Amino acid sequence: MNIHSNAVPESSGAQAMPPTVMRATRPFCWSVRRELWENRSIYIAPLAAAGVYMLGFLISLVWMPHHLRHLVPPDPEHPLILLAMNYAHAGMLLTVTAFLVGIFYSLDALHGERRDRSILFWKSLPVSDRTTVLAKASIPLVVLPLIVLVLTVTVQIIMRVLTIAALMLAHGDVAKEWTLPLFQMQVGLLYGLIVIALWHAPIYCWFLLVSGWARRATFLWAVLPPLALAAVEYIAFRTTHLGLLLQDRLFGFSGAAFDLKDKNGVPIDPHFIPLSLFAPGRFLSSPSLWVGLLLAAGFLAAAVRLRRYQGPI
């Protein structure tokens, strides 16, 4: 037994001891960190998706040089698309994985701590409800997109090295592979991830709010009321405004942030979007984006306020 004989401070200790000076962001950073400790799926699921994709790609290397040698672009105007496809699919797979992880994370974020009563422990520490809720919101809005970016770039670099090695071994056309501007694709990925995070922000924030409010069945409470409203609108007025709004919120980011038709009015292939077709100006001035962000901020503010009242369930 090691006994702490000096464990009791002097009588005035509690008031006299200057507390460690802390940066204001420190509780926030630690709160994000603890979310990663608790929800390891945040990085394990994208890692697993990347692993599965790499496995498929490795197997495809066996026949790929032959395939690339005899490849005839379906659209001679865009010869890069066939080369880009593999790389683009890696990014898409990881983005979809991150979306699913983000949805299920958000639905549980403020519910789990009430269910297992640990909210009483978190609330016993000097971390405000606002810091807690913002830390939880930052997981789908910041952390997951960053993980997707880093993993996709890593996977794509490994893929390129392996592709070139395979082509050289098979005496394939290495020069043609180099015509694909991979870095430009990765800049596009970064842009796309920012766009998707901002566009989907109200979805995640709504799910967070529901997770802080519903006592059970968070998924149903999050999903059914909007669908029910859309159904009521259709039955009552035979219109589909709300349904279209919901659809636009899920998938509308591509039309808002990219010119999906080239200068001749031909729809472009989403596997490789040239920089010239990025439309950040239009995206940032789209009312839809700002209405969504306002809603997201409102949902977050409500979730912060709600957490003050919430205890274990």
Q: How far is the CB of 211 from other proteins (least distance, A)?
A: 16
Could you say whether residue 120 binds other proteins (CB under 8 A)? yes
Does residue number 313 form part of the binding site for other proteins (CB under 8 A)? no
State which of positions 291-310 bind other proteins (CB under 8 A).
308-309
The stretch near other proteins (CB under 8 A) out of 89-97, 110-118, 175-183, 205-213 is 110-118
Closest CA relative to residue 33, chosen from 139, 114, 109, 149: 139
CB 191 within 8 A of CB 285: no
CA atoms in the 13 A half-sphere facing the CB of 173: 11
User: Does 44 contact other proteins by CB under 8 A?
Assistant: no
d(CA 136, CA 141): 9
- Placement of tokens 């990085």 in the chain: 43
DSSP class of residue 19?
P
Task: Report the residue number, 20 or 276, with the smaller CB distance to other proteins.
Answer: 20
Q: Which is nearer to other proteins, 13 or 287 (CB)?
A: 13
In the Cβ-directed half-sphere of 167, how many Cα atoms lie within 13 Å? 18
Looking at 38, 173, 177, 259, which residue binds other proteins (CB under 8 A)?
38
Please choose, from the candidates 223, 49, 35, 47, the residue with its C-alpha nearest in 3D space to the C-alpha of residue 138. Answer: 35
Considering only residues 6 to 35 of the shown chain, the ones binding other proteins according to CB under 8 A are: 7-15, 17, 19-22, 26-27, 29-31, 33-34
Which uninterrupted H or E stretch holds 162? helix 144-169
- Which residues are near other proteins by CB under 8 A? 1-4, 7-15, 17, 19-22, 26-27, 29-31, 33-34, 37-38, 113, 116-121, 123-129, 131, 308-309, 311-312
